Amino acid sequence: QGSELSGWAMGRWTYEGIDLNHNFADLNTALWDAEDNDLVPHEFPNHYIPIPEYYTLTNATVAPETRAVIDWMQRYPFVLSANLHGGELVVTYPFDMTRSYWKAQELTPTADDGVFRWLATVYATSNLAMASEDRRLCHYDDFARHGNIINGANWHTVPGSMNDFSYLHTNCFEITVELSCDKFPHASELPAEWENNRESLLLYMEQVGTGTPG
């Protein structure tokens, strides 16, 4: 259809009708319920949270792609990750799901909010498109006013996100990078998109070693 004629939902669901961006186990609700009942950490963990039994059943609505990624994450102790999306220019960080389940938007920081904000800022400030003085709005939200970063839940709630799952199940710090205003850029635009993000990707990966002994 061409990049200008594709809607935001194009390509969002699998053939089976599953949105992979919302398909990971919701560990947030279990943690917050345990916190509200003073069960953390002596009776319920606040990290390495186990996957609920209902999610592992054979008839659970879990895509094979999601199961494969979870198996991969459990085999390797990743500490840093990034989800690459399109359609906006902003970096989001957990939590992605609002703590008040009825709210579509709500600031919902993690216990490591300072670290997440730093990681998001590293990417956003070195991204050529986000840092440009000619930075324009993609749609309606002026993310530049906030340094082109935002708490995911404070933008829109995403239950079952990979970011929240990575953080709560494996202790991996993961952000989402919205790479471009155009969700489906033309092939001729890809070299420029790569240049916009090349340094950001390198600097982001280098944060794994920041602050560690030499």
Give the three-class secondary structure for 74. helix
Annotated catalytic residue, options 53, 178, 199, 206: 178
Which residues are paired to 93 by β-bridges?
151
**AA letter at 208:** V
Cα separation, 3 vs 184, in Å, equals 5
Cα separation, 109 vs 100, in Å, equals 13
Category of 48 on φ-ψ map: left (φ > 0), alpha (ψ -120 to 50) or beta:
left
6 CB contacts (<8 Å, ≥6 apart)? 183, 184
How many residues appear in the chain? 214
Cα separation, 166 vs 186, in Å, equals 32
Rg (CA), the chain: 18
Cα separation, 173 vs 152, in Å, equals 14
88 flagged as catalytic? no
User: Does an H or E element contain 196, and which?
Assistant: helix 190-206
Catalytically active residues, by annotation? 178
